[in-house]
Amino acid sequence: MSTFMDEYRSKLISAEQAARLVKSGMVIEYGQFATKPVDFDRALGARAGEENLTDVTIRATGTVLPVPEVVKNDPQHKSFTYGSWYCTAVDRKMGDFGLCIHYPFNYHEANNVGTLSSFQHRWCDIWVAQTTPMDRGGCFNFGLGNSHSYALGSTAKYRIVEVNTNMPRCLGGFEEGIPLDEVDYIIEGSNSPIFATPPSPAPNKAEQKIAEYIVEEIRDGSCIQLGIGALPNTIGMMLAESDLKDLGVQSEMFCDAFVAMYEAGKITNAKKATDRFKSTYTFCLGQQSTYDFIHDNSRLASCPVQYTNDPARVRLNDRMVSINNILEIDLLSQVCSESKGLRQISGTGGQLDFVIGAFESNEGMSFLAFSSTFKDKEGNLHSRIRPMLTPGGVVTVPRTMVNWVVTEYGKVNLKALSIWERAEALINIAHPDFRDQLIKDAEQMKLWRPTNKIACSA
Protein backbone atom coordinates (compact mmCIF):
# COMPACT_ATOMS: atom_id res chain seq x y z
CA MET A 1 0.00 0.00 0.00
CA SER A 2 2.94 2.36 0.59
CA THR A 3 3.24 2.92 -3.16
CA PHE A 4 -0.21 4.55 -3.14
CA MET A 5 0.11 6.74 -0.07
CA ASP A 6 1.47 9.89 -1.71
CA GLU A 7 -1.42 9.93 -4.16
CA TYR A 8 -3.84 9.06 -1.35
CA ARG A 9 -2.69 11.98 0.79
CA SER A 10 -2.87 14.37 -2.15
CA LYS A 11 -6.56 13.60 -2.56
CA LEU A 12 -7.56 13.98 1.10
CA ILE A 13 -10.17 16.63 1.68
CA SER A 14 -12.45 17.56 4.57
CA ALA A 15 -16.19 17.02 4.32
CA GLU A 16 -16.64 20.79 4.43
CA GLN A 17 -14.21 21.30 1.54
CA ALA A 18 -15.98 18.59 -0.45
CA ALA A 19 -19.36 20.22 0.15
CA ARG A 20 -17.91 23.49 -1.25
CA LEU A 21 -17.52 21.76 -4.62
CA VAL A 22 -21.31 21.79 -4.99
CA LYS A 23 -22.58 24.63 -7.18
CA SER A 24 -26.06 25.74 -8.20
CA GLY A 25 -27.77 23.50 -10.72
CA MET A 26 -25.61 20.45 -9.99
CA VAL A 27 -26.86 16.85 -9.67
CA ILE A 28 -25.39 14.97 -6.71
CA GLU A 29 -25.67 11.18 -6.45
CA TYR A 30 -25.46 9.61 -2.99
CA GLY A 31 -24.41 6.01 -2.38
CA GLN A 32 -27.15 3.40 -2.24
CA PHE A 33 -28.91 2.29 0.93
CA ALA A 34 -26.44 1.98 3.82
CA THR A 35 -23.59 3.50 1.77
CA LYS A 36 -25.10 6.99 1.62
CA PRO A 37 -22.57 9.56 2.86
CA VAL A 38 -22.96 10.86 6.40
CA ASP A 39 -20.20 13.44 6.88
CA PHE A 40 -20.52 14.91 3.38
CA ASP A 41 -24.30 15.13 3.80
CA ARG A 42 -23.88 16.91 7.13
CA ALA A 43 -21.49 19.43 5.60
CA LEU A 44 -23.66 20.00 2.54
CA GLY A 45 -26.76 20.35 4.68
CA ALA A 46 -25.03 23.14 6.60
CA ARG A 47 -24.99 25.14 3.35
CA ALA A 48 -28.79 25.07 2.99
CA GLY A 49 -30.23 28.49 2.26
CA GLU A 50 -27.03 30.08 0.99
CA GLU A 51 -27.97 32.84 -1.41
CA ASN A 52 -25.69 31.57 -4.17
CA LEU A 53 -26.69 27.90 -3.83
CA THR A 54 -29.95 26.98 -5.58
CA ASP A 55 -31.53 24.24 -7.67
CA VAL A 56 -29.22 21.43 -6.51
CA THR A 57 -30.67 17.96 -7.16
CA ILE A 58 -29.68 15.17 -4.79
CA ARG A 59 -30.53 11.58 -5.74
CA ALA A 60 -30.32 8.54 -3.50
CA THR A 61 -31.40 4.90 -3.71
CA GLY A 62 -33.31 3.71 -0.67
CA THR A 63 -32.58 6.24 2.05
CA VAL A 64 -31.76 4.88 5.50
CA LEU A 65 -31.28 6.65 8.81
CA PRO A 66 -30.06 9.16 9.75
CA VAL A 67 -32.46 11.46 7.91
CA PRO A 68 -30.37 13.42 5.39
CA GLU A 69 -29.27 16.83 6.62
CA VAL A 70 -29.93 18.30 3.18
CA VAL A 71 -33.60 17.51 3.82
CA LYS A 72 -33.79 18.44 7.50
CA ASN A 73 -32.09 21.80 6.97
CA ASP A 74 -33.95 22.78 3.80
CA PRO A 75 -37.69 21.95 4.05
CA GLN A 76 -38.52 24.82 1.69
CA HIS A 77 -36.19 23.53 -1.05
CA LYS A 78 -34.30 26.82 -1.15
CA SER A 79 -31.10 25.01 -2.11
CA PHE A 80 -31.84 21.31 -2.51
CA THR A 81 -34.37 18.94 -4.05
CA TYR A 82 -34.01 15.40 -2.71
CA GLY A 83 -35.24 12.27 -4.48
CA SER A 84 -34.87 8.49 -4.37
CA TRP A 85 -34.77 5.76 -7.00
CA TYR A 86 -36.36 3.40 -4.47
CA CYS A 87 -38.49 4.43 -1.49
CA THR A 88 -37.78 3.10 1.97
CA ALA A 89 -39.73 3.98 5.11
CA VAL A 90 -37.54 7.09 5.47
CA ASP A 91 -38.20 8.20 1.88
CA ARG A 92 -41.90 7.49 2.31
CA LYS A 93 -42.17 9.62 5.45
CA MET A 94 -40.23 12.46 3.85
CA GLY A 95 -42.50 12.18 0.81
CA ASP A 96 -45.57 12.62 3.01
CA PHE A 97 -44.25 16.09 3.86
CA GLY A 98 -43.22 16.93 0.30
CA LEU A 99 -39.53 16.50 1.11
CA CYS A 100 -38.67 13.61 -1.23
CA ILE A 101 -39.61 12.85 -4.82
CA HIS A 102 -39.51 9.43 -6.48
CA TYR A 103 -37.61 8.46 -9.64
CA PRO A 104 -39.37 5.46 -11.27
CA PHE A 105 -37.22 2.87 -13.05
CA ASN A 106 -36.61 -0.85 -13.38
CA TYR A 107 -33.58 -1.61 -11.25
CA HIS A 108 -31.60 -3.43 -13.94
CA GLU A 109 -31.59 -0.18 -15.94
CA ALA A 110 -29.69 1.73 -13.26
CA ASN A 111 -26.20 1.31 -14.72
CA ASN A 112 -27.38 2.63 -18.08
CA VAL A 113 -28.57 5.85 -16.43
CA GLY A 114 -24.96 6.55 -15.53
CA THR A 115 -23.25 5.50 -18.74
CA LEU A 116 -25.41 5.67 -21.88
CA SER A 117 -25.19 8.88 -23.87
CA SER A 118 -28.98 8.92 -24.25
CA PHE A 119 -29.14 9.66 -20.50
CA GLN A 120 -26.37 12.26 -20.54
CA HIS A 121 -28.82 14.97 -19.53
CA ARG A 122 -29.27 13.12 -16.21
CA TRP A 123 -25.65 12.22 -15.45
CA CYS A 124 -24.52 13.41 -12.05
CA ASP A 125 -21.91 16.09 -11.40
CA ILE A 126 -20.73 14.63 -8.10
CA TRP A 127 -20.90 11.01 -6.99
CA VAL A 128 -20.21 10.43 -3.28
CA ALA A 129 -20.60 7.29 -1.18
CA GLN A 130 -19.27 5.60 1.94
CA THR A 131 -16.70 2.90 1.19
CA THR A 132 -14.21 0.73 3.02
CA PRO A 133 -10.71 2.08 3.63
CA MET A 134 -8.32 1.62 0.73
CA ASP A 135 -6.92 -1.90 0.48
CA ARG A 136 -3.34 -2.87 -0.31
CA GLY A 137 -4.20 -2.95 -4.01
CA GLY A 138 -5.22 0.70 -3.94
CA CYS A 139 -8.99 0.12 -4.18
CA PHE A 140 -11.97 1.32 -2.15
CA ASN A 141 -14.66 -1.34 -1.82
CA PHE A 142 -18.30 -0.24 -2.20
CA GLY A 143 -19.31 -2.49 0.66
CA LEU A 144 -23.05 -2.91 1.11
CA GLY A 145 -23.97 -1.03 -2.06
CA ASN A 146 -22.40 -2.20 -5.31
CA SER A 147 -25.61 -1.55 -7.26
CA HIS A 148 -24.85 1.15 -9.85
CA SER A 149 -22.09 2.95 -7.95
CA TYR A 150 -19.27 2.40 -10.42
CA ALA A 151 -21.43 3.32 -13.42
CA LEU A 152 -22.64 6.57 -11.88
CA GLY A 153 -19.15 7.54 -10.80
CA SER A 154 -17.67 6.80 -14.21
CA THR A 155 -19.33 9.82 -15.81
CA ALA A 156 -19.38 12.18 -12.82
CA LYS A 157 -17.23 15.31 -12.81
CA TYR A 158 -16.08 14.51 -9.27
CA ARG A 159 -15.88 11.09 -7.61
CA ILE A 160 -15.67 11.30 -3.82
CA VAL A 161 -15.33 8.43 -1.37
CA GLU A 162 -16.13 8.82 2.32
CA VAL A 163 -14.08 6.17 4.09
CA ASN A 164 -15.70 4.33 6.98
CA THR A 165 -13.80 1.61 8.83
CA ASN A 166 -17.11 -0.01 9.83
CA MET A 167 -18.14 -0.76 6.25
CA PRO A 168 -18.04 -4.50 5.43
CA ARG A 169 -15.81 -5.44 2.51
CA CYS A 170 -17.95 -7.27 -0.03
CA LEU A 171 -15.91 -9.32 -2.46
CA GLY A 172 -16.57 -9.58 -6.21
CA GLY A 173 -18.02 -10.33 -8.58
CA PHE A 174 -16.90 -7.25 -10.36
CA GLU A 175 -17.26 -3.47 -10.14
CA GLU A 176 -17.38 -3.97 -6.38
CA GLY A 177 -15.01 -1.06 -5.83
CA ILE A 178 -13.18 1.88 -7.34
CA PRO A 179 -9.39 2.25 -7.69
CA LEU A 180 -7.52 5.21 -6.24
CA ASP A 181 -6.57 6.62 -9.64
CA GLU A 182 -10.29 6.99 -10.50
CA VAL A 183 -11.10 8.80 -7.25
CA ASP A 184 -10.90 12.60 -7.22
CA TYR A 185 -11.23 13.21 -3.48
CA ILE A 186 -11.16 11.21 -0.24
CA ILE A 187 -12.96 12.09 2.97
CA GLU A 188 -11.72 10.24 6.03
CA GLY A 189 -15.10 10.08 7.71
CA SER A 190 -16.10 9.99 11.36
CA ASN A 191 -16.62 6.20 11.16
CA SER A 192 -20.25 6.43 12.20
CA PRO A 193 -22.06 3.11 12.73
CA ILE A 194 -23.38 1.57 9.53
CA PHE A 195 -27.17 1.47 9.45
CA ALA A 196 -28.51 -1.98 10.34
CA THR A 197 -32.09 -3.22 10.56
CA PRO A 198 -33.64 -4.65 13.74
CA PRO A 199 -34.54 -8.35 13.82
CA SER A 200 -37.69 -9.17 11.84
CA PRO A 201 -40.78 -9.74 13.99
CA ALA A 202 -42.21 -13.22 14.24
CA PRO A 203 -44.48 -13.97 11.28
CA ASN A 204 -48.23 -13.78 11.81
CA LYS A 205 -50.55 -16.63 10.85
CA ALA A 206 -51.19 -15.25 7.38
CA GLU A 207 -47.48 -14.86 6.62
CA GLN A 208 -46.79 -18.33 7.94
CA LYS A 209 -49.44 -19.87 5.70
CA ILE A 210 -48.28 -17.94 2.63
CA ALA A 211 -44.72 -19.10 3.25
CA GLU A 212 -45.89 -22.71 3.48
CA TYR A 213 -47.71 -22.46 0.15
CA ILE A 214 -44.59 -21.17 -1.56
CA VAL A 215 -41.99 -23.41 0.06
CA GLU A 216 -43.86 -26.57 -0.92
CA GLU A 217 -43.33 -25.61 -4.59
CA ILE A 218 -39.54 -25.22 -4.28
CA ARG A 219 -37.33 -28.14 -5.28
CA ASP A 220 -33.73 -29.20 -4.80
CA GLY A 221 -31.34 -27.14 -6.87
CA SER A 222 -33.62 -24.11 -7.10
CA CYS A 223 -32.03 -20.69 -7.40
CA ILE A 224 -33.67 -18.18 -5.05
CA GLN A 225 -34.36 -14.46 -5.15
CA LEU A 226 -35.88 -12.88 -2.05
CA GLY A 227 -37.27 -9.36 -2.00
CA ILE A 228 -37.44 -6.83 0.81
CA GLY A 229 -39.79 -7.36 3.75
CA ALA A 230 -40.85 -9.67 6.54
CA LEU A 231 -42.54 -12.24 4.28
CA PRO A 232 -39.49 -13.03 2.09
CA ASN A 233 -37.42 -13.39 5.24
CA THR A 234 -40.02 -15.73 6.71
CA ILE A 235 -39.83 -17.86 3.56
CA GLY A 236 -36.04 -17.89 3.76
CA MET A 237 -36.13 -19.01 7.38
CA MET A 238 -38.56 -21.77 6.44
CA LEU A 239 -36.23 -22.88 3.65
CA ALA A 240 -33.43 -23.07 6.21
CA GLU A 241 -35.53 -25.54 8.21
CA SER A 242 -36.60 -27.60 5.19
CA ASP A 243 -35.18 -30.80 3.68
CA LEU A 244 -34.15 -29.01 0.48
CA LYS A 245 -30.56 -29.09 -0.72
CA ASP A 246 -28.21 -27.48 -3.23
CA LEU A 247 -30.08 -24.16 -3.31
CA GLY A 248 -28.55 -21.21 -5.12
CA VAL A 249 -28.84 -17.45 -4.76
CA GLN A 250 -29.27 -14.88 -7.54
CA SER A 251 -30.82 -11.86 -5.86
CA GLU A 252 -30.57 -8.10 -5.92
CA MET A 253 -30.59 -8.07 -2.13
CA PHE A 254 -28.67 -10.28 0.28
CA CYS A 255 -30.96 -10.49 3.31
CA ASP A 256 -30.79 -11.98 6.80
CA ALA A 257 -32.58 -15.18 5.77
CA PHE A 258 -29.76 -16.17 3.43
CA VAL A 259 -27.41 -16.34 6.41
CA ALA A 260 -29.74 -18.80 8.13
CA MET A 261 -29.91 -20.84 4.91
CA TYR A 262 -26.10 -20.92 4.69
CA GLU A 263 -25.73 -21.93 8.32
CA ALA A 264 -28.25 -24.75 7.77
CA GLY A 265 -26.24 -26.02 4.80
CA LYS A 266 -29.00 -25.34 2.27
CA ILE A 267 -27.03 -23.03 -0.03
CA THR A 268 -24.26 -24.49 -2.18
CA ASN A 269 -24.85 -22.72 -5.51
CA ALA A 270 -23.63 -25.93 -7.15
CA LYS A 271 -26.47 -26.01 -9.68
CA LYS A 272 -26.22 -22.43 -10.91
CA ALA A 273 -25.55 -21.76 -14.58
CA THR A 274 -23.36 -18.76 -13.80
CA ASP A 275 -21.27 -17.81 -10.75
CA ARG A 276 -21.23 -21.43 -9.58
CA PHE A 277 -20.60 -21.88 -5.86
CA LYS A 278 -21.23 -18.17 -5.22
CA SER A 279 -24.31 -16.23 -4.12
CA THR A 280 -24.71 -13.29 -6.49
CA TYR A 281 -26.20 -10.03 -5.16
CA THR A 282 -25.88 -6.27 -5.63
CA PHE A 283 -26.64 -4.79 -2.20
CA CYS A 284 -27.19 -5.88 1.37
CA LEU A 285 -29.54 -4.49 3.97
CA GLY A 286 -29.95 -6.36 7.21
CA GLN A 287 -28.82 -6.92 10.76
CA GLN A 288 -25.25 -6.42 11.92
CA SER A 289 -24.83 -10.19 12.13
CA THR A 290 -25.52 -10.35 8.39
CA TYR A 291 -22.92 -7.66 7.73
CA ASP A 292 -20.44 -9.67 9.78
CA PHE A 293 -21.24 -12.74 7.68
CA ILE A 294 -20.71 -11.07 4.29
CA HIS A 295 -17.48 -9.27 5.27
CA ASP A 296 -14.58 -10.80 3.28
CA ASN A 297 -16.76 -13.82 2.46
CA SER A 298 -15.46 -15.45 -0.72
CA ARG A 299 -18.64 -17.55 -1.09
CA LEU A 300 -20.51 -14.40 -2.12
CA ALA A 301 -20.17 -12.26 -5.24
CA SER A 302 -21.01 -8.54 -5.18
CA CYS A 303 -21.90 -7.44 -8.72
CA PRO A 304 -23.50 -4.41 -10.39
CA VAL A 305 -27.28 -4.49 -10.63
CA GLN A 306 -27.21 -4.60 -14.42
CA TYR A 307 -25.67 -8.06 -14.00
CA THR A 308 -27.69 -9.41 -11.07
CA ASN A 309 -31.09 -8.21 -12.32
CA ASP A 310 -30.86 -8.55 -16.08
CA PRO A 311 -33.85 -10.81 -16.88
CA ALA A 312 -31.89 -12.48 -19.67
CA ARG A 313 -29.19 -13.46 -17.19
CA VAL A 314 -31.61 -14.42 -14.41
CA ARG A 315 -33.32 -16.88 -16.76
CA LEU A 316 -30.05 -18.78 -17.34
CA ASN A 317 -30.45 -20.46 -13.96
CA ASP A 318 -32.70 -23.52 -14.00
CA ARG A 319 -35.50 -23.59 -11.42
CA MET A 320 -35.17 -19.87 -10.74
CA VAL A 321 -37.64 -18.81 -8.04
CA SER A 322 -38.45 -15.16 -7.35
CA ILE A 323 -40.45 -14.20 -4.26
CA ASN A 324 -41.73 -10.65 -3.75
CA ASN A 325 -44.36 -8.72 -1.80
CA ILE A 326 -47.16 -6.79 -3.44
CA LEU A 327 -49.66 -4.27 -2.07
CA GLU A 328 -52.76 -5.09 -4.11
CA ILE A 329 -54.06 -6.74 -7.26
CA ASP A 330 -57.25 -6.07 -9.21
CA LEU A 331 -59.63 -8.43 -10.97
CA LEU A 332 -57.87 -7.63 -14.24
CA SER A 333 -54.76 -9.15 -12.56
CA GLN A 334 -52.81 -5.88 -12.62
CA VAL A 335 -50.36 -5.72 -9.72
CA CYS A 336 -49.42 -2.69 -7.65
CA SER A 337 -46.43 -3.15 -5.37
CA GLU A 338 -45.27 0.41 -4.84
CA SER A 339 -48.02 2.92 -4.12
CA LYS A 340 -51.21 3.37 -2.14
CA GLY A 341 -53.08 5.53 -4.58
CA LEU A 342 -50.79 8.49 -5.21
CA ARG A 343 -48.74 7.88 -2.07
CA GLN A 344 -45.41 6.31 -2.97
CA ILE A 345 -44.75 3.37 -0.65
CA SER A 346 -41.69 1.73 -2.22
CA GLY A 347 -40.65 1.44 -5.86
CA THR A 348 -40.56 -0.94 -8.78
CA GLY A 349 -37.02 -1.88 -7.82
CA GLY A 350 -36.11 -5.25 -9.29
CA GLN A 351 -39.52 -6.88 -8.91
CA LEU A 352 -40.40 -6.86 -12.60
CA ASP A 353 -36.83 -7.86 -13.51
CA PHE A 354 -37.13 -11.08 -11.53
CA VAL A 355 -40.77 -11.75 -12.39
CA ILE A 356 -39.74 -11.91 -16.05
CA GLY A 357 -36.44 -13.71 -15.52
CA ALA A 358 -37.82 -16.38 -13.18
CA PHE A 359 -40.79 -17.24 -15.40
CA GLU A 360 -38.54 -17.57 -18.46
CA SER A 361 -36.15 -19.85 -16.57
CA ASN A 362 -36.32 -23.60 -17.20
CA GLU A 363 -38.77 -24.88 -14.56
CA GLY A 364 -38.75 -21.41 -12.99
CA MET A 365 -41.52 -19.73 -11.00
CA SER A 366 -42.34 -16.19 -9.95
CA PHE A 367 -44.38 -15.68 -6.76
CA LEU A 368 -46.14 -12.43 -5.86
CA ALA A 369 -47.35 -12.75 -2.29
CA PHE A 370 -49.47 -10.69 0.09
CA SER A 371 -51.91 -11.03 2.96
CA SER A 372 -55.46 -10.86 1.61
CA THR A 373 -56.58 -7.94 3.78
CA PHE A 374 -55.40 -4.89 5.68
CA LYS A 375 -56.93 -2.63 8.35
CA ASP A 376 -57.14 1.14 8.01
CA LYS A 377 -56.49 3.61 10.82
CA GLU A 378 -60.06 3.20 12.06
CA GLY A 379 -59.68 -0.57 12.25
CA ASN A 380 -61.87 -1.31 9.20
CA LEU A 381 -60.93 -4.38 7.19
CA HIS A 382 -60.24 -4.00 3.43
CA SER A 383 -59.46 -6.52 0.71
CA ARG A 384 -56.18 -6.28 -1.17
CA ILE A 385 -57.89 -7.99 -4.09
CA ARG A 386 -59.96 -5.21 -5.60
CA PRO A 387 -62.15 -4.76 -8.66
CA MET A 388 -59.75 -2.04 -9.85
CA LEU A 389 -56.50 -0.75 -8.37
CA THR A 390 -56.85 2.12 -5.93
CA PRO A 391 -57.18 5.32 -8.03
CA GLY A 392 -53.67 6.61 -8.62
CA GLY A 393 -52.18 3.18 -7.93
CA VAL A 394 -49.17 2.30 -10.08
CA VAL A 395 -49.05 -0.87 -12.17
CA THR A 396 -45.77 -2.47 -11.11
CA VAL A 397 -46.30 -5.82 -12.84
CA PRO A 398 -48.56 -5.82 -15.94
CA ARG A 399 -51.13 -8.58 -16.06
CA THR A 400 -49.29 -10.18 -18.97
CA MET A 401 -46.28 -10.81 -16.71
CA VAL A 402 -48.03 -12.17 -13.61
CA ASN A 403 -47.27 -15.81 -12.78
CA TRP A 404 -48.12 -17.19 -9.30
CA VAL A 405 -50.16 -15.10 -6.85
CA VAL A 406 -50.34 -16.23 -3.22
CA THR A 407 -52.41 -15.24 -0.19
CA GLU A 408 -53.09 -17.08 3.06
CA TYR A 409 -56.13 -18.59 1.29
CA GLY A 410 -54.25 -20.27 -1.51
CA LYS A 411 -52.11 -19.84 -4.61
CA VAL A 412 -53.00 -19.52 -8.28
CA ASN A 413 -50.99 -19.56 -11.47
CA LEU A 414 -52.49 -16.91 -13.75
CA LYS A 415 -50.36 -17.65 -16.81
CA ALA A 416 -52.41 -18.57 -19.90
CA LEU A 417 -55.74 -17.98 -18.12
CA SER A 418 -58.49 -15.92 -19.73
CA ILE A 419 -59.69 -12.72 -18.05
CA TRP A 420 -62.74 -14.64 -16.78
CA GLU A 421 -60.55 -17.39 -15.33
CA ARG A 422 -58.17 -14.87 -13.77
CA ALA A 423 -60.98 -13.04 -11.99
CA GLU A 424 -62.37 -16.30 -10.63
CA ALA A 425 -58.94 -17.53 -9.53
CA LEU A 426 -58.22 -14.31 -7.65
CA ILE A 427 -61.63 -14.26 -5.96
CA ASN A 428 -60.94 -17.83 -4.86
CA ILE A 429 -57.91 -16.70 -2.82
CA ALA A 430 -59.53 -13.52 -1.46
CA HIS A 431 -60.71 -13.26 2.13
CA PRO A 432 -64.08 -15.08 2.35
CA ASP A 433 -65.83 -11.97 3.69
CA PHE A 434 -65.19 -10.15 0.40
CA ARG A 435 -65.86 -12.86 -2.18
CA ASP A 436 -69.55 -12.21 -2.72
CA GLN A 437 -68.96 -8.52 -3.38
CA LEU A 438 -66.03 -9.30 -5.67
CA ILE A 439 -68.29 -11.61 -7.68
CA LYS A 440 -70.79 -8.76 -8.07
CA ASP A 441 -67.96 -6.46 -9.13
CA ALA A 442 -66.74 -9.05 -11.64
CA GLU A 443 -70.25 -9.35 -13.08
CA GLN A 444 -70.46 -5.57 -13.56
CA MET A 445 -67.05 -5.63 -15.23
CA LYS A 446 -68.19 -8.47 -17.53
CA LEU A 447 -65.55 -10.75 -16.06
CA TRP A 448 -67.98 -13.34 -14.74
CA ARG A 449 -70.10 -15.99 -16.44
CA PRO A 450 -73.15 -17.63 -14.94
CA THR A 451 -71.31 -20.95 -15.16
CA ASN A 452 -68.33 -19.75 -13.11
CA LYS A 453 -67.86 -21.45 -9.77
CA ILE A 454 -65.53 -20.92 -6.87
CA ALA A 455 -63.81 -24.02 -5.50
CA CYS A 456 -62.91 -22.71 -2.07
CA SER A 457 -61.07 -24.89 0.40
CA ALA A 458 -61.11 -22.28 3.17
Question: Of these residues, 29, 175, 252, 338, which one is catalytic?
Answer: 252
Of 161, 62, 160, 148, the closest CA to residue 113 belongs to: 148
Residue 146 in contact with residue 23, Cβ under 8 Å? no
Alpha-carbon distance 383 to 439, whole Å? 13
Strand, coil or helix: 274: coil
**What stretch of H or E contains 19?**
helix 15-19
Quick one: three-class SS letters along 399-441? HHHCCEEEECCEEEECCCCCHHHHHHHHHHCCCHHHHHHHHHH
Dihedral (Cα; 163, 93, 91, 105), 10-degree rounding:
170
Q: 154: which residues sit within 8 A by CB, 6+ positions away? A: 114, 115, 182
- DSSP calls for 175-241: S-EEEGGG-SEEEE---PPPP-PPPPPPP-HHHHHHHHHHHTT--TT-EEEE-SSHHHHHHHHHHHT
Alpha-carbon distance 239 to 167, whole Å? 29
Give strand ranges (E) for 68-197.
80-84, 101-102, 126-131, 139-141, 158-163, 177-179, 185-188
In the chain, count of helices (H) and strands (E)? 16, 26
Please confirm, yes or no, whether 252 is among the known catalytic residues: yes
Q: Report CA torsion sign: 409, 413, 419, 424.
A: negative
Which residues are marked as active site? Answer: 252
